[in-house]
Copies of this chain bind each other. A is one copy, B any other.
Amino acid sequence: MRGRPTIYEDSNIIKKAQEVFWQKGYSATSLSDLQKATGAGAGSFYNTFKGGKKEVFQKAVQERRLAFDEFKNELNKSNSPLELIKDFFRSIAEANSNEHLKGCIIANTVVEMTFIDEDLENSAVQILKEVEQMFTEVIKKEQQKGNIKTQTSPEILGKYLITFWCGLNTLRRMYPDKNVLKDQIEMQLAVIS
């Protein structure tokens, strides 16, 4: 392959940019912020991402979806998928204060981008709906197996969990405290049993 070798790998730029976007959101993050965080100058940045700031944000969001896909794979292999979901929620309480304050980049994006950028808004909403559907499917199966007593429909329970996830996204900022969150998460998960 010809040409000067790349020193700023795409994936690394996205990773570093994601950290800034996650904390500051889309609008409040400047190109200058991204250049400082990634080390890449404007030349490299726009050579790699013709779509500029928006393209990098999209890719940072999509990168986050990969983590979700991975979790979904684990769910499919698991014998107790509901317990895996519950443990995922429980693990949130164990995060450090900075992670609490950052919250979920997808949920943050839905709140921030509604009247700002339709594309970014839609792709974030889409991901949340996929997560919701994952919840719903697991609940449906577990209900059929008799592992869940509640007769509430899996659709409503799935929406209950995604609503909880989004609510937790704010509660964590109000109380970035392990003990508070732990009790709260346990109480809310008890609804699905």
Q: Which residues of A line the B interface, CB within 8 A?
A: 23-25, 27-28, 101-103, 107-108, 110-112, 114-116, 121, 125, 128-129, 132, 152, 156, 159-160, 162-171, 173-175, 180, 183-184, 187-188, 191
Contact = CB atoms under 8 A, between A and B. Distances in A.
A111 B173 contact: yes
Q: Is the interface of A mostly helix, strand, loop or mixed?
A: helix
A175 B129 CA distance: 10
Contact of A170 (B23, B107, B116): B107
Contacts of A175: 159
A171 B101 CA distance: 20
B103 A174 contact: no
A183 B159 CA distance: 10
A85 B108 CA distance: 27
B173 A163 contact: no
A3 to B, nearest CB: 38
A115 B101 contact: yes
A170 B166 CA distance: 6
A112 B174 CA distance: 13
14 contacts: A23-B114, A25-B116, A107-B170, A110-B174, A111-B169, A112-B112, A114-B173, A160-B187, A160-B188, A163-B171, A163-B184, A166-B166, A166-B169, A167-B170
A158 to B, nearest CB: 10
